[in-house]
C-alpha cells in the first residue's frame, strides 16, 4: 500500500513541476512579448509580398497592352446575304453562321424552320427558301 501511494505522489509531483515550469511567469511573459512581434513581422512580410506581387502584375500588364480585334467577321457577299444579315443576325453572329458544319439543303432547311417554329425567329415564310439557298451555296457541302 505504501509503495503505491509513494509512486502516485511521485507522479503527481512530476506533473505539477512540469506544469509550473511550463506556465511560469517568466515563460508567460516571453510568450506574450514575442507573439505581437511575430504577428507584426508576419503581417509586414505578407504586406510586402502582396505589394511586390501587385507591382509585378501591373508592370507586366502595362508592358503587354491588350487590343481587341477591330474587324468583325462578315458573311460572304452573295445573292441572299442581305436577307441573312437582316433576319439571322438578329440573334446570331456571322461567326456563328460560318462555323456551323457544312450541311446539305435538307439540314439547312430544317435549321431555318426550327428557328422560325421553335425559337420564334421573325422570318416570313416566303423568305425561307432564299435564305436556305444562300446558306447552302456559301456554307453548305460542296
Euclidean distance between CA atoms 68 and 105, whole angstroms = 36
In the chain, alpha helices (H): 2-22, 25-63, 81-87, 94-98, 105-117, 128-139
- Residue 101: all three cell numbers together: 458544319
The residue written with cell numbers 430544317 in the block is 110
Query: What is the DSSP-derived secondary structure letter of residue 100?
Result: S
pLDDT tops 90 at residue 108: yes
pLDDT tops 90 at residue 110: yes
Q: Average pLDDT of 85-106? A: 87
pTM exceeding 0.75:
no
pLDDT tops 80 at residue 16: no
Mean residue pLDDT of the chain comes to 77
Nearest to 139 by CA among 103, 109, 96, 85: 103
pLDDT at residue 104, rounded to an integer: 92
Size (the chain), residues? 142
pLDDT at residue 58, rounded to an integer: 77
49 pLDDT tier (thresholds 50, 70, 90): confident
3/97: higher pLDDT: 97
pLDDT tops 90 at residue 111: yes
Q: How far is CA 125 from CA 48, 113, 116, 128, 139, in A?
A: 67, 9, 9, 5, 21
Amino acid at each position: 500500500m505504501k509503495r503505491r501511494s509513494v509512486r502516485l505522489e511521485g507522479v503527481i509531483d512530476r506533473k505539477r513541476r512540469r506544469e509550473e515550469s511550463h506556465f511560469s511567469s517568466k515563460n508567460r511573459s516571453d510568450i506574450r512579448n514575442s507573439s505581437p512581434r511575430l504577428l507584426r513581422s508576419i503581417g509586414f512580410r505578407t504586406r510586402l509580398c502582396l505589394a511586390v506581387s501587385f507591382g509585378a502584375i501591373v508592370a507586366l500588364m502595362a508592358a503587354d497592352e491588350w487590343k481587341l480585334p477591330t474587324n468583325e467577321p462578315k458573311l460572304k457577299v452573295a445573292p441572299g446575304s442581305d436577307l441573312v444579315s437582316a433576319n439571322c443576325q438578329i440573334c446570331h453572329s456571322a461567326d456563328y453562321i460560318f462555323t456551323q458544319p457544312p450541311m446539305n439543303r435538307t439540314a439547312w432547311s430544317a435549321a431555318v424552320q426550327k428557328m422560325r417554329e421553335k425559337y420564334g425567329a421573325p422570318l416570313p415564310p416566303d423568305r425561307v427558301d432564299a435564305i436556305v439557298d444562300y446558306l447552302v451555296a456559301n456554307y453548305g457541302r460542296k
